[in-house]
């Protein structure tokens, strides 16, 4: 297995910056109702954290890019609650085979500050699935 670098940005550059939108490329819904994407962009100001999957190894790649402007990118309504909240810490998860196949993000706005994980993106069959780790109360 190669030493694949999953986190291809300095997270300090986006830490505590407010989320302006969360966009997806290649969105599709599975038979069980869950969503999967080819890529997800968490936009902050004039930058985006783009999460993709390396198809040969199914490892998650996280890179900084310009915010997407192409019509192929669409908003993900279930992420709207995070707009205006700041990005907290992030984590890269390694599975039992040594592959870096998950990426977790904290969103500030709770009593735990910037260390409470909110989303875990997992590489599944060369696409992304996201698990919401929070219970939002009204």
Look at strands 35-37 and 47-54 and give their pairing: unpaired
Distance from C-alpha of 126 to C-alpha of 73, rounded to nearest angstrom: 18
Three-state SS for the chain is CCCCCCEECCHHHCCCCEEEEEEEECCEECCCCCEEECEEEEEECCEEEEEEEECCCCEEEEEEECCCCCCCEEECHHHHHHCCCEEEEEEEEECCCCCEEEEEEEECCCCCHHHCEEEEEEEECCEEEEEECCCCCC
- Model pLDDT, residue 134: 74
Q: Which residue, among 76, 74, 106, 102, has the nearest Cα to 88 in the 3D structure?
A: 106
* pLDDT above 80: residue 135: no
pTM tops 0.75, yes or no: yes
Write the pLDDT tens digit of every residue in 56-101: 888 999 999 999 998 999 999 989 989 999 999 999 999 999 899 9
pLDDT of 20-59, one tens digit each?
999 999 988 888 878 899 999 999 989 999 999 998 888 9
């Amino acid at each position: 297995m190669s030493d694949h670098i999953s986190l291809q940005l300095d997270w300090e550059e986006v830490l505590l910056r407010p989320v302006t939108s969360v966009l997806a490329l290649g969105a599709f819904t599975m038979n069980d109702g869950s969503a999967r994407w080819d890529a997800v962009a968490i936009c902050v100001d004039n930058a985006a954290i783009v999460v993709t999957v390396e198809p040969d190894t199914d490892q998650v790649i996280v890179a900084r890019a310009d915010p997407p402007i192409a019509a192929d990118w669409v908003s993900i309504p279930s992420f709207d609650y995070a707009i205006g909240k700041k990005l907290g810490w992030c984590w890269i998860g390694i599975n039992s085979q040594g592959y870096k196949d998950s990426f977790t993000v904290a969103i500030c706005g709770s009593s735990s500050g910037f260390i409470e994980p909110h989303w875990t993106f997992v590489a599944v069959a060369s696409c992304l699935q996201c698990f919401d780790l929070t219970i939002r109360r009204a």
